Chain A
Amino acid sequence: KQEVTQIPAALSVPEGENLVLNCSFTDSAIYNLQWFRQDPGKGLTSLLLIQSSQREQTSGRLNASLDKSSGRSTLYIAASQPGDSATYLCAAAEETSGSRLTFGEGTQLTVNP
């Protein structure tokens, strides 16, 4: 059974700092991995999707990497802004389990002005 863990659970940084969020998964047979952002009481906004054959994906100030062999993914946020404050979730999709996503518990990020 796939298990996804995110470290740290919470992170508080000053504005402008570069930061890294970590995601680890126990079963390396993933199809892809998706990073989401969730604002309080809201739904999930997809940030980046990395296929199993890819090493990284970039969108603006965000960069996500994937290392299947070690069961890890990282989300790098450059030059953080207060508007980046949210909970960040990673989710692994396994082809063997059909279409379900297995989510981590999330990292709650606060960027202080």
Chain B
Amino acid sequence: KAGVTQTPRYLIKTRGQQVTLSCSPISGHRSVSWYQQTPGQGLQFLFEYFSETQRNKGNFPGRFSGRQFSNSRSEMNVSTLELGDSALYLCASSLNGNLFYGYTFGSGTRLTVV
């Protein structure tokens, strides 16, 4: 059974550009959450999608957005990149979006903004 797949694994972007990250959840999982991990702030919740609808959102600026497709795959977009956006972006999926089952995380996308 395939796990949560995130692509690409590594990205280098220039300040001011935009970037799109992709996450494919475990088959059958309909909930996808995104987290940002930095040395200074630790792991912070970005947003969660369930059945193509954003169900929950963290405290990030509007430059961070996402969407979910009918096959449950999700994309996260960051526009007008800033140096501080350099981080490991982690995606997690959950069966039926139910907290009871916990979360499975992917390996992450390492974004470096120069």
Contact = CB atoms under 8 A, between A and B. Distances in A.
A and B: bona fide binding partners: yes
A103 B6 CA distance: 21
Contacts of A103: 35, 42-43
Interface string A27-70: 00001101010000111111001010000000000000000000
A45 B106 CA distance: 9
B42 A98 contact: no
B42 A99 contact: no
A27 B51 CA distance: 29
Interface stretch (B12-20, B63-71, B79-87, B93-101): B93-101
A75 interface: no
A23 to B, nearest CB: 13
| Residue of A34, A43, A91 with highest tally of chain B CB at under 10 A | A43
Nearest to A97: B56
A93 B103 CA distance: 10
Nearest to B88: A41
A11 interface: no
A82 B28 CA distance: 35
B90 A99 contact: no
B99 A31 contact: yes
Interface residues of A, number: 26
Contact of A98 (B6, B48, B92): B48
A101 interface: yes
A32 B100 contact: yes
A98 B107 CA distance: 24
B102 A49 contact: yes
B56 A43 contact: no
Nearest to A99: B48
Interface of B: 4, 6, 31, 33, 35, 42-43, 45, 48, 50, 55-56, 58, 88, 90, 92, 94, 97, 99-108, 110
